[in-house]
Amino acid sequence: MLSVRNVSFSYDNGSRALNDVSLDIDRGEFVCIVGHNGSGKSTLAKMFNGLLLPTEGSVTVDGMDTADDEKMLDIRRLVGIVFQNPDNQIVTTVVREDVAFGPENLGVPPDIMAVRVDEALKAVGMESYAESAPHMLSGGQKQRIAIAGMLAMEPQVLILDEATAMLDPMGRRDILNIVRELNKQKGITVVMITQYMEEAVGTDRMIVMNDGSIVMEGTPAKVFARGDELRAIGLDVPPAVELRELLKQMDVADCGDAMTLQELSASICRSLLKN
C-alpha cells in the first residue's frame, strides 16, 4: 500500500531529516513508528501523502508516485493524516462542518457528504456533538473530530502523528481503541507514530527510527526484547517489559515476552504456582 524506496530528505536550511529510508507497508497492516525527538518521524509521515516530497528516492501510494502532480488528489483521498495538536486541525465553528471540510475540498457531493459525516461521527462516538462548537470540546473530543474528518474522506490509510500526545490517559485509550477498531473492522491501514511505547503493544509491526534512519523493525515482542538497544537511542520499553527485565535479572521469574501488566501478572502467578 505504501512503499518508501531509498528516501532521503533535507529541509531548505540543509537539515537532513531522512537518510536512505526504505519501508513497505501492506494493506490492512497496523504499523507503529517510534523514535526520539527529531529522529525524522514527522518528516516520514508527511512523505506518505505527498505533503513533503523526497529529495532522493521515491514514495508510492497504491502504486502512485507522490511526485506525480496528476496523482496528488487521488493520493490525498487515499491517505489521511491526523497531527498532534487538535486545535490546529479545526477550521470551522460547527462540528458537522468541520468533519465535512476535507471531503468537500475533494469534491464529494452534498447528499453523499451528509451520510458520510454522520457515519464518521458515529465511528468516533461523537454523533451527539454534530451541532456543537468544536472549540468548546475537550482535547480528546477535538482529536476524535479530527479523525472523523479524515474518515469522512474514506481513506484507505490513516496516519496518526502523535495524535494522542496532548491527551490524558483516558483520552489516549479512547483514540487508540477507535483506531484499532477502524483497522480491524474496516481494514484501514494504520501508521501510528507515538512516544508512548505501550501503545505499540498489539500493533503488527514496529519501526524504530534514529537520526533519520530506520534502526530496528519487527513485531513489538521482538523489538521490546532489545531493551538495551532502545535505551541506547533515547527510547524506553513499556513499564511491564521493564519490570519483566528486572524480575529476570534478579532471577525471580522468567516472564517470557510479556508486554502488558496483565500478561506479566499471569506469568508471575504461573511461576509462583510451579515453585
Tell me: does residue 38 bind ligand ATP (CB under 6 A).
Answer: yes
The footprint of Mg ion on residues 22-41 (CB under 5 A) is: 41
Binding mask 43-82 for ligand ATP (x = CB under 6 A): x---------------------------------------
What separation in angstroms does the CA of 44 have from each of 1, 86, 114? Answer: 15, 20, 33
Look at residue 185 and give the partner it binds from Mg ion, ligand ATP, none, a contact being a CB closer than 5 to 8 Å depending on partner kind: none
Tell me: does residue 15 bind ligand ATP (CB under 6 A).
Answer: yes
Tell me: does residue 42 bind Mg ion (CB under 5 A).
Answer: yes
Under a CB-based contact definition with an 8 Å cutoff, are residues 193 and 17 in contact? no
Cβ-based neighbour number of residue 208 at 10 Å: 23
- Shortest distance in whole angstroms from residue 49 CB to ligand ATP: 15
H helix or E strand, kind and range, residue 194: none
Under a CB-based contact definition with an 8 Å cutoff, are residues 188 and 158 in contact? yes
> With CB under 6 A, what is the number of residues at the site for ligand ATP?
12
Tell me: does residue 189 bind ligand ATP (CB under 6 A).
Answer: no
Tell me: does residue 13 bind ligand ATP (CB under 6 A).
Answer: yes
Cell matching residue 229? 538497544
Taking the C-alpha atoms of residue 162 and residue 83, their distance in angstroms, rounded to an integer, is: 6
Distance between alpha carbon 57 and the CA centroid of its chain, in Å?
Answer: 23
Under a CB-based contact definition with an 8 Å cutoff, are residues 23 and 54 in contact? no
Look at residue 43 and give the partner it binds from Mg ion, ligand ATP, none, a contact being a CB closer than 5 to 8 Å depending on partner kind: ligand ATP
Q: Can you give the binding site for ligand ATP, defined by CB under 6 A?
A: 11, 13, 15, 17, 35, 37-43
